Copies of this chain bind each other. A is one copy, B any other.
Amino acid sequence: MKMTYAEAAREALAEAMREDPTVWAVGEDLGRGGVFGQYKGLREEFGEDRISDAPISEAGIMGAAFGAAMVGTRPVVEMRFADFALCATDELVNQIAKARFMFGGQSRAPMVIRKPMGLWRSSAAQHSQSLESWYAHIPGLVVACPSTPQDNYSMMKQAVACDDPVVYLEHKDIWLSEGQVDRAENLPLGKARIRREGGDVTVVSWSQACNLAVEAADALKSDGLGVEVIDLRTLWPWDKDAVMESVGRTGRLIVAHESVQVGGFGAEVVAYVAERMAVKARRLGAPRSLIAYAPNLENQVRVTADMIADAAREICQ
């Protein structure tokens, strides 16, 4: 079935809510369908208790949802923009991620924390960030970065079913992108998806950048270059086996991500591989600079399909 990225997540959430009455969603403006329409129609089906509006109160939303999770409900928390989620960092990092351990296993925080991220048409510095590497660094959290409607369907379902807190980073620029969704597909969280096979170079990526990597791979095919594109899908756990296996064959590794390169998760992937085998490696991330409003400036910090293709050509020389 064809769905957009937004519809896929909505479908998955609706199904989860039908199956389990303890699943509920909470965030600002959800009753009107959410800022990106990703909750459209759900209020009508599930009512205002289960598709709950919230005050502008990210710390309150996160803290309260955590409390409600500890007593046995399964909240889906909407942060609206990943940037605003920074207002709830103590709640996520000091409380949610740590409670189960600190309390010696007495509690659980089965939560999905949705944080729409990334560059989106001149949203400027406070509405464009991608901070997935932060969450990958925090023990206790699962980190999901779906790149396609299929994954935004199946990963959302799995995230709601998961007993760990899942930081769920949807990319704002692809809400309307369409794709086939097979409801039965069930690749588990933690497993990568090989989106293109190839023997010359391995490109590891996630989220929207992975779609660019696929574009690059397709473009290079006519040049006779075999680019294997691995979509990590989750950054923790991440599929080291898939990456090691592929790089073992190609000997060349590119990691491409939209977020800032310095301290980005690409560093983790390259370092992990480089500790274990000789590899030609290259990261492609944003410069350590801020995101401007003017499109020509915004574009200068953008990783593009062309840049990935160029890097692939170069590394294969």
User: Which of B126, B263, B292 has a CB less than 8 Å from the CB of A94?
Assistant: B126
Which of A98, A262, A265, A271 has the most CB atoms of chain B within a 10 A radius of its CB?
A271
CA gap between A54 and B131 in the complex, in Å: 30
A139 and B270 contact, Cβ closer than 8 Å, known pairs A86-B94, A93-B86, A125-B102: no
Interchain CB contact under 8 A, B279 and A274: yes
**A 274-317 binary contact with B (CB < 8 Å = 1; else 0):** 11001101110000111010000000000000000000000000
A126 and B102 contact, Cβ closer than 8 Å, known pairs A93-B86, A271-B270, A274-B271: yes
**Which residues on the B side are within 8 Å of A89 (C-beta)?**
86-87, 89-90
Question: By the criterion of a CB under 8 Å from any partner CB, how many residues of chain A are at the interface?
Answer: 47
**Which residues on the B side are within 8 Å of A84 (C-beta)?**
90
CA gap between A83 and B93 in the complex, in Å: 9
Which of A126, A236, A263 has the most CB atoms of chain B within a 10 A radius of its CB?
A263
**Which residues on the B side are within 8 Å of A90 (C-beta)?**
84, 86-87, 89
Interchain CB contact under 8 A, B288 and A101: no
CA gap between A109 and B226 in the complex, in Å: 48
Task: Determine whether A267 belongs to the interface, using a CB cutoff of 8 Å to chain B.
Answer: yes
**Which residues on the B side are within 8 Å of A159 (C-beta)?**
none
Interchain CB contact under 8 A, B83 and A94: yes
CA gap between A268 and B255 in the complex, in Å: 13
**Nearest-Cβ distance from residue A70 to partner chain B, whole angstroms:** 16
A-B contact list, 29 entries, CB within 8 Å: A86-B90, A86-B93, A86-B94, A89-B90, A94-B126, A98-B290, A101-B125, A101-B289, A102-B124, A102-B290, A133-B137, A134-B263, A137-B260, A137-B263, A139-B289, A139-B290, A262-B268, A263-B263, A263-B265, A263-B268, A267-B267, A267-B268, A267-B271, A268-B271, A270-B271, A271-B271, A274-B279, A275-B282, A278-B278
CA gap between A8 and B259 in the complex, in Å: 37
Chain A contact residues, majority secondary structure: mixed
**Nearest-Cβ distance from residue A280 to partner chain B, whole angstroms:** 9
Task: Determine whether A110 belongs to the interface, using a CB cutoff of 8 Å to chain B.
Answer: no
Interchain CB contact under 8 A, B133 and A290: no
Q: For A100, give the chain B residue with the smallest CB separation.
A: B290
**Which residues on the B side are within 8 Å of A137 (C-beta)?**
131, 133-134, 259-260, 262-264
Interchain CB contact under 8 A, A101 and B263: no
**Which residues on the B side are within 8 Å of A292 (C-beta)?**
101
Q: For A272, give the chain B residue with the smallest CB separation.
A: B267
CA gap between A122 and B134 in the complex, in Å: 25
* Segment 83-133 of A: residues with Cβ below 8 Å from B: 83-84, 86-87, 89-90, 93-94, 97-98, 101-102, 124-126, 131, 133
